[in-house]
Amino acid sequence: MDFHATDDAVTRRIRYFSERERKAKENDLYFYNQPIEEIKGGSSVVVRGREMGMYASYSYLGLIGHPRINAAAKAAVDRFGTGTNGVRLLAGTLTIHTELEETIAAFKHAEAAVTYSSGYATNLTVISTLMGRGDYVISDKLNHASIVDGCLMSGAEFRRFKHNDMDELEKRLQQVPDGVARLVVADAVFSMDGDVLDLPKTVELCRKYSAWLMIDEAHSIGVLGKTGRGIEEHFGLDDGIDIKMGTLSKTIPSVGGYVAGRQELIQYLRHASRAYIFSAALPPAQTAAANEAFKVILDEPWRVGKVNANGRQFIDGLKAAGFDTLQTTTAIVPVLCGTDERAYELTQACQHKGLFVLPVVSPAVPEGMARLRATVTAAHEPEEIAHAVEVIANAGKEIGIIA
């Protein structure tokens, strides 16, 4: 059966996409939605019967499948079942939700925390609840799409500043009319480039211009700071971020998002943010898994050291081979290829050699800046990383990305 509308703009958009997908598949250049049949020890996966080294995971501390976390999830199912009775505000709050929120607040040195069903929903709902028409949101140009969508949804004046450029941030703040509410929002570790926000300067500017500050720690929890508590620990600041946002789907092997901050702010969000009021609570198993994961991070600090050592080895190896890895200092490592075609070619060559890596192309990154966005985790061993570097370097030479 065909669509009801056979030739309107929507149908044409869908058809255009289908054609691109068909061609990519025909040329063995479609890398998305690969079915992972098995997760092997954190550093490799089985895809269509073939074991591959995993270099596209956000499970930075290798916690997927951790026995304590699995046990906590199973116990929660036995106690609470698999679902909740509805939205949090009415009948959906379980004691395990409250426990998780207390754990997050303690981990982030905040008075309180609130959770939502995804990191994406968290950014959307928190930004659009706090900010509205007439207010100003000022966002780093490389911020994640969920932040951008939250800013647009808020209806506030949306201003962007050049990536991590503190002079531009100051200019944007100076342009806000007197007496108008303003929010500065940024990733802690940028998801495409892997570099770290200049938090001390950002905090200083927010204080100077009386702006709210929201930081998204999707890629910094478990990675930054000696004990993995994130960007404030990394810079030795314990105060300065008003809205400490994060996800429960990367380092924390669960699903969901959170915001931690002052009790009054969190209580307001519990009664005003639509993703809390009109959407179901996190399932018990995922809530308990997340709660246990924060405790495991503190009990097993070697994982934080290992992901960072692995990141350094990976970056140094790729740089020595001649690749441009931009400004990354973390576990997210962009391997610049130039054109989209070259990124596809490098991905294809690496995948044929058993590395699970993915390309990031325009419009997700500017044209000419297409790349592999490879990641390492605490589950990798140094020999595995050395092998991955060798595979990427050999393929890069063959394709002509490096000499």
Ligand X SMILES: Cc1ncc(COP(=O)(O)O)c(C=O)c1O
Least separation in angstroms between CB 202 and ligand X: 16
Strand order in the sheet with 112-116: 112-116, 257-261, 243-247, 212-216, 182-187, 136-140, 157-161
Least separation in angstroms between CB 200 and ligand X: 20
- Regarding 216 and contact with ligand X (CB under 6 A), the answer is yes
| Segment lying near ligand X (by CB under 6 A), choices 66-74, 117-125, 199-207, 381-389 | 117-125
Q: Are strands 136-140 and 182-187 parallel, antiparallel or unpaired?
A: parallel
> By rule CB under 6 A, what string of x and - marks binding of each residue 67-106 to ligand X?
----------------------------------------
Q: Judged by CB under 6 A, which of 55, 120, 212, 344 binds ligand X? A: 120
Least separation in angstroms between CB 291 and ligand X: 16
Q: Cβ atoms within 10 A of the Cβ of 288, count?
A: 27
- Regarding 194 and contact with ligand X (CB under 6 A), the answer is no
Total residues binding ligand X (CB under 6 A): 14
Q: What angle do CA 369, 371, 377 make, to 5 degrees?
A: 135
Catalytic residue among 59, 128, 146, 191: 191
- Please list the alpha-helical segments (H only) found in 246-329: 263-272, 274-277, 284-299, 302-321
Least separation in angstroms between CB 246 and ligand X: 8
Closest CA to 359 of 341, 384, 386, 380: 341
Enter the DSSP assignment of 176: S
Structure tokens belonging to residue 177: 């009319």
Annotation marks residue 249 as catalytic? no
- Regarding 57 and contact with ligand X (CB under 6 A), the answer is no
Count of CA atoms in the C-beta half-sphere (13 A) of 329: 10
d(CA 35, CA 278): 32
Q: How far apart are the first and last CA of the chain?
A: 52
Least separation in angstroms between CB 191 and ligand X: 4
d(CA 65, CA 78): 18
Catalytic residue among 244, 250, 306, 380: 250
Give 273 or 348: the residue with its C-beta nearer to ligand X: 273
Residue with tokens 């209806």: 155
273-292 residues in contact with ligand X (CB under 6 A) are none
d(CA 327, CA 215): 19
22's CB contacts (< 8 A; 6+ apart) are none
Annotation marks residue 191 as catalytic? yes
Closest CA to 389 of 328, 331, 298, 315: 315
Give 286 or 325: the residue with its C-beta nearer to ligand X: 286
Q: Judged by CB under 6 A, which of 249, 328, 351, 375 binds ligand X? A: 249
- Regarding 195 and contact with ligand X (CB under 6 A), the answer is no
Q: Judged by CB under 6 A, which of 53, 119, 261, 283 binds ligand X? A: 119
Greatest distance between any 2 Cα atoms in the chain: 62
> Is residue 326 within 8 Å of residue 164, measured between CB atoms?
no
- Regarding 365 and contact with ligand X (CB under 6 A), the answer is no
- Regarding 144 and contact with ligand X (CB under 6 A), the answer is yes
Annotation marks residue 146 as catalytic? no
Q: In which region does residue 41 sit, left (phi positive, over 0), alpha (psi from -120 to 50) or beta (all else)? A: left
Q: Judged by CB under 6 A, which of 43, 191, 251, 347 binds ligand X? A: 191
Give 36 or 71: the residue with its C-beta nearer to ligand X: 36
| Segment lying near ligand X (by CB under 6 A), choices 133-141, 216-224, 228-236, 322-330 | 216-224
- Regarding 247 and contact with ligand X (CB under 6 A), the answer is yes
Catalytic (active-site) positions: 191, 219, 250
Catalog residues that contact ligand X under the rule CB under 6 A.
Answer: 118-120, 123, 144, 146, 187, 191, 216, 218-219, 247, 249, 257
